A = this chain, B = another copy of it.
């Protein structure tokens, strides 16, 4: 095997090992967040010590583990699960994991561009509430949310405790009806320098970018959000079904 082929093979193997370890780390299977020694991992994965070291380096670069000479490898960053099916606010989603607080960076009434009016079903020029929040879990920055709200449900939020409440719960109280459904788009993007600073993440860090249009139960769109989650703090979880029709037949 040539040198290049060997290097490629080692990188391929490191990726395999990293993927399997990532899942174990995220699911918290290592007691006290302490990974087994390199030799044990090498034996478990049928890999060389060098491959295991490469895999641990990949996970370190993702912000998942710390490596300390003489001490070993420990899980450094917790990744929180976020469902892909039920429509929940962040505090509702993460209530088992700690306290969500929201720093309001901006809150104002604006005449929105047509890209916003159209999606919220408003006439051109109809004002909306624009809200920008930095959301933290247990004090650590988790996401930066840009929110456009239709005026009748958005305006009462000026008097609400936005710092300690999800918008969703407040909206339901104001509207006197539950929320219904939301359309969701999910992408991976690199953080621009300013966003990275706000989220206290490395420049260029991978972000989960969510765009979500939420409707009241009566079908009217009320809340358009653009959310940047730190990629190293969140995993989205869901399930998929092969069959699409109600009888569950093979398509």
Contacts and interface: CB of A to CB of B under 8 A. Distances in A.
A123 interface: no
A174 interface: no
Chain A interface: which size bin?
35 or more
Given A15-B192, A61-B192, A178 B84 contact: no
Contact of A15 (B130, B195, B208, B235): B195
A190 B178 contact: no
Interface string A212-245: 1000010000000010010100111111111110
A146 interface: yes
A180 to B, nearest CB: 6
A106 interface: yes
Interface of A is mostly: mixed
Given A186-B237, A206-B207, A235-B187, A181 B15 contact: no
Nearest to A119: B23
A15 B146 contact: yes
Given A237-B186, A242-B179, A12 B61 contact: no
6 contacts: A15-B192, A19-B146, A62-B189, A172-B250, A187-B235, A206-B206
Interface of A: 8, 11-12, 14-16, 19-21, 23-24, 26, 44-46, 58, 61-62, 79, 84-87, 105-106, 110-111, 113-116, 130, 132, 146, 168, 172, 178-190, 192, 194-195, 204-209, 211-212, 217, 226, 229, 231, 234-244, 250-251
